[in-house]
Structure 1
């Protein structure tokens, strides 16, 4: 449970850093995502999730 909370905290830090340091870039990304087809968003989400699980699996065993 500790690792889950740390992981969520790191995700918030990274996302907050994007918005704090590069708000114009973050807005452009959001606008681009809003125009993207749903299937592309689903595929990107699935690939990102798979990459994350793979990294955790490789590191944690």
Structure 2
């Protein structure tokens, strides 16, 4: 549970910096997401989830 809360907190910090620090960039990225086909978003999302799981697995093994 500690690892989950740490990861959630880190995600919120990164998003907070993005929206608080450079909101115009966040808006441009949101517009690009709306124009990106679903299959591309699905593949990118699955790839990043797999990479994230691998990173967690490696970090927990060290």
Alignment TM-score > 0.5, same fold: yes
SS, match of residue 8 in structure 2: helix
Aligned-pair RMSD on alpha carbons? Answer: 0.6
Q: Which runs of 4+ in 1 moved over 3 A?
A: none
Matches within 5 A, 1:15-54: 15-54=15-54
CA distance in 2, matches of 1:13, 1:5: 12
Aligned positions, number: 61
For 1:5-61, what per-residue CA distance to the aligned partner results, in whole angstroms no more than 9, with x for missing partners? 110010011011001111000000000001100000000100110111011111102
TM-score of the superposition, structure 1-length normalised?
0.96
CA distance in 2, matches of 1:3, 1:40: 30
Partner of 2:11: 11
